[in-house]
Structure 1
Amino acid sequence: MRIQALPAQLINQIAAGEVVERPASVLKELVENSLDAGASRIEVDIEQGGAKLIRVRDNGAGIHPEDLRLALSRHATSKITTLEELERVSSMGFRGEALPSIASVSRLSIASRATGQESGWIVSSDGGDRFADPAPSAHPQGTTVEVRDLFYNTPARRKFMRTEKTEFGHIETQLKRLALSRFDVSFSLSHNRKEVFTLPLADQVMEQERRLAGLLGSGFLEQTIHLDREQAGLALRGWVARPVFSRSQADMQYFYVNGRMVRDKLVTHAVRQAFQDVLFHGRHPAYVLYLDLDPLQVDVNVHPAKHEVRFRDGRMVHGFIYRTLHQVLADTRPGQEVDRSTGEIRLVEAEQRPVTPVSGSNAYQRPLGFQVQERPATYQPSFDMQQPLPTPAAREGAREEDDIPPLGFALAQLKGVYILAENATGLVLVDMHAAHERITYERFKQAVVDGGISRQPLLVPVSVSVSSREADLAESQQALFRELGLEVDRLGAETLVVRAIPVLLQGADGEKLLRDVLSDIVVHGSSERIRDEINQVLATMACHGSVRANRRLTIEEMNALLRDMERTERSDQCNHGRPTWVQMDMTRLDKLFLRGQ
């Protein structure tokens, strides 16, 4: 066949195949248009899961009557006019394809009243390439777009639609994502004329957290840490759930770049790396995070549906996200609290409660008067036990009231597994093996950091065939290889040789290590592969070197372990992601015994 121009209607339907996957895709495009129009209120009405009707009404700037028909034309937009504007685009949409694509596979109407206009106008389409002339319409300032009978003229596409319940589930999820991106906008959603949710404006952090709880559940909010960090033109803010709130699926992960929700491999990798030391195997973190940076540093024009972005300096972005989350998670220890209004992490002040010294003992005995038989020492603290614990002479002159540390003071040991302690809030239960495992692991890691990663020369250097690009990359990354404990030289245009590997990884496959590190550098600009493998060795060493179950500890040893936990990063969970301690406050204990009821 001869080459010929495609009909306009077919062009639009082809474009619709890229941006209109299902009713939820239509909703996304329409709501993003409302946001770009400066709306502060967006109302969404759905019928039959979106198959019959998708209506989006906003109070934005509106569309000028002379532009209504143009809005349904392909590649027509008010959002950019030049390449320079495209390179720093901050609007959600900019291609000018959404409305004509949607109109080509549905019966669409747009009613709008622009700012400064005395009346509204409406234009409609029946799925063809011809549009009726705009007609007067009673309409407040803003725009209402109605999409009826989606895919009615493309039956093959309509067959791929799922049940009404499934399609509406996707719509609800999509609107939740959009509502989490803009707290300065109110949203409402109804399905088959029944209200599903209404979200008021949320300018303050507490109001934003109320929206979070409404959309993601109160359980998520109760376990989150609020963060707000800036560095070198990058800002990361939002909420990240503590590791104990991990999920079996990656279904509660919301990441926004300059207000646009994305599913980006670089971002996902950075977050996963930050959680690596604290998540149980096979679990996924939960978070709602916002990354803001200069629009020039991110390319959003890489995907028709704008799900993906490309960072100009991916290595810098990856490192910033990883370091920020890594530090936030490192501060999850007893007595640490995050100020939700500022994101500042601080030590919680201990409540003043009476502490009774016991004569002739190196331990504080709590008022309940538990007496525990002392046994031979089995716990080796990381500091002199006499420095958290007062000397006998100091105890005799002690005040009647003293500060109670976050984990309180040990009362007893239960079945050789758990430490029972009393703090200012109530009862604390500590899994002594899990806690000591984390303490030992963090001390091992710090020792490696302080002393660097020692290398061990290989008796027989390993020759590795690579591409010329990989060989060039290895040659330019010698400093990184030395930092990771690898010694790598270039022997030829496509040949590398591994001469040394980290001491802690002796016996490891040198070729595999090199290829994995090179792969990481190509994709992410850096590599944590060696450190991760070393940490796995250290974690195993920590597990075997920690106090075991059925070991009896003295009161001094229990208190020393509690104080170590309060000083150790990530001590809220062990190396495998299990919690190391739980708090049972007086309210919870009273409920167990029906007190006050």
Structure 2
Amino acid sequence: MGEIYEMPRQLREKIAAGEVITAPVSVVKELIENSIDAGADEVKVYIEKGGKRLIRVIDNGKGMDRDDLAICAARFTTSKIHYENDLERISTLGFRGEALASITAVSELRIQSRKKGAEKGYAAEYDDKGDSIEIRESPITAGTDVEVRNLFEKFPVRKKFLKSDDVEASKIISLVTKYSLVNNGISFYLYEDGKEVLCSPRADYVSKILQVFGREIAENVLPVEHSTGDISVNGYISKMGYSRKTRDYQVVFVNGRLVKSNVITDAIEKGFKDKIFLDRYPVAVLHITLSPQSMDVNIHPSKDEIKFKNEYAVADAVVNAVQEAVSMSSNAIQVEAGGRMLTPAHRYEKDKGVQALLTEDDKRAVKYNNKKPAAEIKKRPGEEFLRINVLGQLNRTYIIGYDELSLVLIDQHAAQERVFYERFTQQLHDKAVSSNQLIKPFVFSVNKDEEKVIEQYKGALERYGFRVEPFGRGEYALTAAPALFGRVYDATVIKDIIDELGSGANYGGTINEELDHKIATKACRKAIKGGDILSTAEMKGLLASLSTCTNPYTCPHGRPTLLRMSWGDLEKKFKRTDG
């Protein structure tokens, strides 16, 4: 007898549902898209326990009558397309007829709806095959009210892979805010465990950005308007000189559909080429429209992957749109055009920041090793830094010197970062990070997502030496920073740290070595000021500090701290040798 059997229907339904509904946020996405397709101009979302216990979406769209309510949760039933060639011109967000069927296969589904202009509304509950169990009259006003309870209770294999309630809720908040940004004609409200976490009424795009991302970003964006053929690009991008640490502030919709597209992401960043710093990303809220025949959205049941018939044309349109907007920006990055001359070290004034970096051991090491012959210095990792004879400082960025082997260049900022990083991580390991009150608190605006991150990680931030306190509606103040960095500190680092904590890494409020490394790297980078003027003693002291590091040859980001040109190579460059 053969070994291949047809799977039971119930098993097939659950496998299919697992492709469409992977987490609570998947349910919210499908229901919001149904509301938008129904012409709603108000959508309310309620979640409990990160959406695991309850997801409820209420809209004031066109609603359904009794007949539609009876079959809407059956697989492959839809009002969006009717014929095969409709797939070539899809203009709605939903079309596959799988969403409600997949939801009811893995949860308890109840829908109330009333068609606009109808005298009565109706309510229905469904079994896991999508068949309506009972339909009765309901007092609901025009629109639709969908309740999804006990998600994945019927599908324990998927349930055990869900994240914590906070993490799942954060995904939902992020999703709803993104739909709110682009659909400026729709009011969105989100409630988590009875508490309002998003209130985004109908407004213009900048007001929507203000509601969702906060005042700081709203004040640093530029309008984008560009058309090429049948492709148009509209929305907002950040001004030149303003960026964030992650891509979490890039939101892209194509024909009203929230999408993931490397083609578009790469094009946005190409448009900012040479206008934004390394490891920083522009803010972008873009809505791209093109002919439905020019794209295929029927790639995956989640409908967030698309293929373009001519992806090069789409990429060019986005690049040109970004470049046109950026060229109009008056907020350009100012680059100091100082001469690249070698200046004697003794002409520089003392730098308090670097002086504060030196420990008493470092200072003694400088005095001792200045007197002791190089050959007698005990060899250890980094001891070569103690044998370098300092000549001066180049362009306020590099320490130039020499030893018996070569001419040497030290990137003083990379070196300072390495020293700060190792001392800071050691303090973290020893649980010995202390804080300094900032001379002037740094007040910054936050959106709902960021506020949630701050409250979730308040204990972690204090462990890192950062004290953050509420300062009013939508604002917080950084009042203290790690004492290691002194009282004058680039406090904007707190924004980068909040971005990291709220990123897709999902640390879940816990501390681990990976998080320690990332936060320490960010904190130390902001402790370094560009263009520090160093005295000879400070340069020697920095080299002494660097010599004590476990890994003195790179900064925490992997950039080299030291470059050498041997005397032999130098002679070759000046053609003083036949080699």
Do both proteins adopt the same fold according to a TM-score greater than 0.5, normalized to the shorter chain? Answer: yes
User: TM-score by structure 2 length?
Assistant: 0.56
Instruction: Pick from 292, 295, 313 the counterpart of residue 295 of structure 1.
Output: 292
> How many residues of Structure 1 are paired with residues of Structure 2 in the alignment?
345
Cα distance in 2 between the residues matched to 1:112 and 1:378: 72
1:240 shift after superposition:
0.4
1:335 shift after superposition:
9.5
Instruction: Pick from 325, 330, 354 the counterpart of residue 327 of structure 2.
Output: 330
Aligned counterpart, 2:22:
21
1:16 shift after superposition:
1.6
Matches within 5 A, 1:541-580: none
1:145 shift after superposition:
0.5
Instruction: Pick from 278, 281, 306 the counterpart of residue 284 of structure 1.
Output: 281
Matches within 5 A, 1:228-377: 228-333=225-330
Amino acid at match of 2:42: R
Aligned counterpart, 2:208:
211
Aligned counterpart, 1:508:
none
Cα distance in 2 between the residues matched to 1:105 and 1:335: 52
Distance change in 2, residues 1:5/1:64 (3 Å): farther
Amino acid at match of 2:224: L
Amino acid at match of 2:110: S
1:242 shift after superposition:
2.1
1:30-84 CA distance string (max 9 Å, x none): 0100110111111111111111110001111111211223111111100001123
1:276 shift after superposition:
1.8
1:378-398 CA distance string (max 9 Å, x none): 79xxxxxxxxxxxxxxxxxxx
Aligned counterpart, 1:134:
135
Amino acid at match of 1:192: D
1:156-203 CA distance string (max 9 Å, x none): 21111111111111111111111112111111111111222222112x
Counterpart secondary structure, 2:110 = strand
Cα distance in 2 between the residues matched to 1:328 and 1:116: 45
Counterpart secondary structure, 1:133 = strand
Structure 1 gap segments, 5+ residues each = 337-376, 380-413, 416-432, 435-547, 551-597
1:401-446 CA distance string (max 9 Å, x none): xxxxxxxxxxxxx99xxxxxxxxxxxxxxxxx99xxxxxxxxxxxx
Aligned counterpart, 1:178:
179
Cα distance in 2 between the residues matched to 1:63 and 1:549: 68
Aligned partners of 2:64 and 2:115 also within 8 Å? yes
Amino acid at match of 2:143: G
Percent identical across equivalent pairs? 36
- Report the aligned-residue RMSD: 2.7
Distance change in 2, residues 1:193/1:335 (3 Å): closer
1:231 shift after superposition:
2.1
Aligned counterpart, 2:90:
89
Aligned partners of 2:122 and 2:136 also within 8 Å? yes
Counterpart secondary structure, 1:244 = coil
Aligned counterpart, 1:438:
none
Aligned counterpart, 1:7:
8
Q: Which moved more, 1:134-143 or 1:324-333?
A: 324-333
Cα distance in 2 between the residues matched to 1:17 and 1:109: 20
Aligned partners of 1:106 and 1:126 also within 8 Å? no
1:478-508 CA distance string (max 9 Å, x none): xxxxxxxxxxxxxxxxxxxxxxxxxxxxxxx
Cα distance in 1 between the residues matched to 2:532 and 2:146: 65
Aligned counterpart, 1:34:
35
Cα distance in 2 between the residues matched to 1:378 and 1:273: 30
Matched, 1:222 2:219: yes
Aligned partners of 1:8 and 1:129 also within 8 Å? no
Cα distance in 1 between the residues matched to 2:144 and 2:283: 35
1:239 shift after superposition:
0.6
Aligned partners of 1:108 and 1:148 also within 8 Å? yes
Cα distance in 1 between the residues matched to 2:72 and 2:201: 30
Amino acid at match of 2:18: G
Amino acid at match of 2:147: E
Counterpart secondary structure, 1:245 = coil
Aligned counterpart, 1:73:
74
1:194-225 CA distance string (max 9 Å, x none): 222222112xxxx3212211211211111111
Aligned partners of 2:177 and 2:198 also within 8 Å? no
Aligned counterpart, 1:123:
124
Distance change in 2, residues 1:219/1:335 (3 Å): closer
1:326 shift after superposition:
2.1
Aligned partners of 1:181 and 1:261 also within 8 Å? no
Amino acid at match of 2:119: E
Amino acid at match of 1:57: I
Aligned counterpart, 1:490:
none
Amino acid at match of 1:210: S
Aligned counterpart, 2:165:
164
Aligned partners of 1:224 and 1:242 also within 8 Å? yes
Aligned counterpart, 1:473:
none
Aligned partners of 2:240 and 2:329 also within 8 Å? no
Aligned partners of 2:125 and 2:132 also within 8 Å? yes
Cα distance in 1 between the residues matched to 2:130 and 2:332: 65
Amino acid at match of 1:131: S
Aligned partners of 1:181 and 1:260 also within 8 Å? no
Aligned counterpart, 2:354:
none
Counterpart secondary structure, 1:121 = strand
Counterpart secondary structure, 1:110 = strand
Aligned counterpart, 1:440:
none
Distance change in 2, residues 1:151/1:378 (3 Å): closer
1:127 shift after superposition:
3.4
Matched, 1:200 2:190: no
Aligned counterpart, 2:46:
45
Aligned partners of 2:74 and 2:129 also within 8 Å? no
Aligned counterpart, 1:454:
none
1:128 shift after superposition:
5.1
Amino acid at match of 1:250: R
Counterpart secondary structure, 1:139 = coil
Aligned partners of 1:104 and 1:129 also within 8 Å? yes
Structure 2 gap segments, 5+ residues each = 341-347, 350-394, 397-530, 534-579
Cα distance in 1 between the residues matched to 2:124 and 2:327: 57
Cα distance in 2 between the residues matched to 1:223 and 1:326: 16
Counterpart secondary structure, 2:62 = coil
Counterpart secondary structure, 1:307 = coil
* Deviation beyond 4 Å, 4+ runs, structure 1: 1-4
Amino acid at match of 1:186: S
Counterpart secondary structure, 2:274 = coil
1:126 shift after superposition:
4.6
Distance change in 2, residues 1:301/1:335 (3 Å): closer
Cα distance in 2 between the residues matched to 1:122 and 1:2: 44
